[in-house]
Amino acid sequence: MAKKMGIYKCEHCGNIVEVFVEGGAPIICCGEKMIFMEEKTADQSVEKHVPFIEKTATGYKVRVGKETQHPMADEHYIQWIELVVDQYVLRKELKPGDLPEAEFTIEEGKDVYAREYCNVHGHWRG
Ligand SMILES: [Fe+2]
């Protein structure tokens, strides 16, 4: 069964989808179940992926990598950064050469977290 806000990837064609509403069936692509991309929360290597949230005067800034920025090369980069503030879901799509960060203008929330997706290392939450 698909999970609300779950990210699923097709191992064959590379399609990636996010679920808005949970249905009762698995998500199929290229004839097979899409893979659920688990939200990882702890880096175990030197390279940092867990998104880091800072409060700004107008909202929030999310960075991937505190001291060392995550690479943004053609073959390895952060594809998007999402910020969830209460019932709002904000997303910035990134491309190679961009900074691995995103700034969002929104009122301060109670339940705030960020997620990001690395094209090599998958889905992360912080
Ligand atoms: Fe990575």
Q: Write the pLDDT tens digit of every residue in 97-120.
A: 999 999 999 999 999 999 999 999
The overall pTM is greater than 0.85: yes
- Report the separation in Å between the CA atom of 86 and the middle of ligand 1, taken as the mean of its atom positions: 27
- Report the separation in Å between the CA atom of 77 and the middle of ligand 1, taken as the mean of its atom positions: 6
Give the side-chain half-sphere CA count within 13 A for 123: 15
- Report the separation in Å between the CA atom of 4 and the middle of ligand 1, taken as the mean of its atom positions: 24
Q: Would you give the distance in Å from CA 105 to the centre of its chain? A: 18
Beta bridge partners of 115: 82, 125
CA-CA distance, 15 to 29, in Å (whole number)?
8
Tens-of-pLDDT digits for all 126 residues of the chain?
Answer: 889 999 999 999 999 999 999 998 999 999 999 999 999 998 776 678 999 999 999 999 999 987 889 999 999 999 999 999 999 999 999 999 999 999 999 999 999 999 999 999 999 999
What 3-state DSSP class applies to 92?
Answer: strand
Torsional class of 24: left (φ above 0), alpha (ψ -120 to 50), beta (otherwise): alpha
- Report the separation in Å between the CA atom of 107 and the middle of ligand 1, taken as the mean of its atom positions: 30
